[in-house]
Amino acid sequence: MNASGKSAAAIELEAAQWIERREFGGWCETDDAELCAWLDQSLSHRVAYDRLDLGWQKAGRMTVLRQGQLRPAEKATAPTARPILPKFAVVAGIAAAAIAGWFELSPPAQVTYATSVGGREIVRLVDGSQIELNTNTAIRIADRRNHREVWLDRGEAYFEVTHDAAHPFIVNAGNVRLTDLGTKFSVRRNGDRLNIAVSEGGVRLETESGPAKDLAPGQVALATPSGISIQREEKTELKNALAWRSGVLIFHHTTLADAAAEFNRYNHRQIEIADPKIARLEIGGTFPTTDVEGFAEVSRDVLHLRVVKDGDTIRISR
């Protein structure tokens, strides 16, 4: 099949053995020399090796999966340090540094949790419910006699609620009040614009004016001061919108402007799309939320745009 007479599969096996040895075994200078000799033997060795080597480097991106896999799964036991919220206290946060702190407002007692830009946090409650906070998010939690109550002050959170009809779980965001009907849902708040997506169970949505609406799985409500619109989203769309929970952004026919805005939520380095024409270009793919560089790379290498870095700003133009 080729000059060396070996099949492509045989060469690929040898190439993979070299990479395994280099990466996981002891490696010294003589090994280096041996590898070089093998690479020089035939261009087909070099091609097979480069292909695996480049791919394996890319597989380094998998390290972002680590966070998701090693998420602790503590049992729900009440902490001793916070007697003030006996039934409804937080049992585990991952990185204590990202938690801004907690304070009391009485009555009733409230606890505040916040993440900074790029942060992500899981707040576990003794009743088994958990709240996952996305980047730049702040919530307050209170346990009252007849209900559990959360205020989303800014950002985005994903709620997995242990349903208890006698003790409903209520989320306040802006002028909207959500009551769980046994459920998993996400709420994203941008000023007074709210985006509520139900992935399981149901949620009752109420505003100060107008009748209550029940949202079913797959339904997304967009609430603004001027009204509420409800639409149905594809399952994959809903899943993509929650990809931040694994630390990634998934784009599918997303305009450059929207993609840049997403990145800007997670990073101090801000992307600026200088030209409204290119802002409408569409891209697709999966990026770690912090991979601003990768996004710039795609803009430059695939879309052939101009990328200029200026301090914490990345300007993209034609």
The answer to whether residue 82 forms part of the interface with another protein (CB under 8 A) is no
Alpha-carbon distances, residue 32 vs 19, 21, 27, 38 (angstroms) = 11, 11, 8, 10
276 preceded by a cis bond (ω within 30 of 0): no
For another protein, give the closer residue by CB, 72 or 191: 72
279 binds another protein (CB under 8 A): no
The nearer residue to another protein, 3 or 165, going by C-beta atoms, is 3
21 scored as a contact of another protein (CB under 8 A): yes
Residues β-bridged to residue 279: none
What does 154-195 look like in DSSP terms, one character per residue?
EEEEEEE----TTS-EEEEETTEEEEESS-EEEEEEETTEEE
Return the range that interacts with another protein (CB under 8 A); candidates 50-58, 79-87, 89-97, 117-125.
50-58
Rounded CA separation 11/13 (Å): 5
Query: Does 23 interact with another protein (rule: CB under 8 A)?
Result: yes
The correct pick among 55, 79, 108, 225 for binding another protein (CB under 8 A) is 55
Alpha-carbon span 271 to 254, nearest angstrom: 15
Task: Say whether residue 7 binds another protein (CB under 8 A).
Answer: yes
The smaller minimum CB distance to another protein, of residues 12 and 132, is found at 12
- Residue 297: enclosing H or E segment and its boundaries? helix 292-301
Assess 152 for contact with another protein (CB under 8 A).
no
Binding site for another protein (CB under 8 A): 1-2, 7-9, 11-13, 16-17, 19-21, 23-25, 43-44, 46-48, 50-56, 58-66, 69, 248, 250, 282-288, 294, 298, 301-303
